Structures are given as C-alpha cells and as structure tokens.
Amino acid sequence: MKVKRIEHIAIAVKSMKKFGRFLENDLDIKMEYEEELPKYRTKLAMYPVGDTYIELLESDHPETETSEWIAKHGEGLFHICLEVEDIDEALVELKEKGILLRNETPLIGHGGARIAFLDPKSTGNVVIELAELPTVPSH
C-alpha cells in the first residue's frame, strides 16, 4: 500500500460559516471550494494548507455521522484522511493485516474520490479515512 500524503484533516463543526471566518480572517487560509454531499446530508468546505487541506464538515440533520459525532464529542477533530495510490489494494492489504474496516468496498466521497474508513478499534481510536482521488478532480 502506498500512502501519498495526508489529504485532509476533517473538523466537525456546527457552523462552517463561523469556523470558516476564523480560518479566513484570523489564519488567512482561503477556502478553495464547498460541496454538498446529499447522500450523507452533509456539507463540506476545503481549505488548502500546503499539499493538504483542512476539511470542515457540517450537517443540520441529527442522524448523520457528523451530527452524532458532535453530540457525543463536541466540535473538533473528526478524522484524518490519507491519500492512497490504490484504495482497493490498500483495503485488501489492511484486511490481511487484521485491520478492521468500516467499509470493505469504497464509497464515493468528496470531490468524487473513492473513500473508505478504517475502524477506530484498530487505529488507537482515531478515525482514519483512505481516499483515492480521481485523476481529474470533480470540483
């Protein structure tokens, strides 16, 4: 499995607008794009920092993973996303190593990326997302 970089660090927030103002006004990090993920009833915004991003996630639906996370843990670090060269190969390799997977097959996530989450029981209670980015970004 080849991990290329930390693709993004996701932060679950109640208000992307409020946290976005902090990033833009106080840290001078400008938003690159916003995206709605209707399937997940979640909105996201991507803020580039070097070769990685800060991803803000917001949902006003109480039964989404983002809202449930905030209800349980409060706003803050949600997950770390690692870009991999081949997500199918990565999932097979990790499963062979005994790593528990939340997703055995990739889903479509941000920017059309193929994504999968590892089970935090195997990662020291850190939610880790793997992403194989499309060759042509969809944002």
On whether residue 9 sits in a domain, the answer given is yes
d(CA 30, CA 49): 9
Amino acid code (one letter) for 131: A
Answer whether 6's CB lies under 8 Å from 81's CB.
yes
Q: Measuring CA to CA, which residue among 65, 80, 72, 84 is closest to residue 133?
A: 84
Model confidence pLDDT, tens digit, residues 5-30: 999 999 999 999 999 999 999 999 99
Task: Tell me the pTM.
Answer: 0.91
Please provide residue 72's backbone torsions phi and psi, each rounded to the nearest 5 degrees. -85, -40
Number of folded domains that form the chain: 1
On whether residue 7 sits in a domain, the answer given is yes
Model confidence pLDDT, tens digit, residues 63-98: 998 999 999 999 999 999 999 999 999 999 999 999
State the residue range of the domain holding 66. Answer: 3-132
On whether residue 138 sits in a domain, the answer given is no
Structure tokens at 75: 């706003």
Instruction: Give the domain CATH number at 86.
Output: 3.10.180.10
On whether residue 137 sits in a domain, the answer given is no
Q: Is the pLDDT of residue 139 over 70?
A: no
Q: What is the dihedral angle through the alpha carbons of 15, 33, 82, 9, rounded to the nearest 10 degrees?
A: -30
